[in-house]
Amino acid sequence: LDRLLQSGDMSLEEGMLLLQLLRDHYGKFDGKDCDLILVRKMGISSLLLVSSPEEVCVDTGTKVVTCLSLASCLEELKGKLT
């Protein structure tokens, strides 16, 4: 979250939505790897948690802002905490 906010890829409001998404749905992945995808079209953003992001298609005019592996983000966070 911090990386996305500092890079300007995500707004504070989108960050709040991300935290809510993780609270509501991250547990459903039950230890499986998943990716976070942030897409935006005409200023409207959507956040997706996907278990197999090999191919995600979006309509014309939609920009994939970022696609992050949550497993690698968790490893990075663990490294910073130790």
Note the pLDDT tens digit of each residue in 28-81. 888 788 999 999 999 999 999 998 767 888 999 999 999 998 888 888 878 878
pLDDT at 76 (0 to 100): 83
pLDDT of residue 81: 84
Question: H-type helices in 1-69, by residue range?
Answer: 2-7, 12-25
Q: What is the model's pLDDT at position 70?
A: 84
Q: What amino acid occupies position 42? A: M
Average pLDDT over every residue of 15-31: 90
Task: Report the distance separating Cα 21 and Cα 34, nearest Å.
Answer: 13
- Tell me the pTM: 0.81
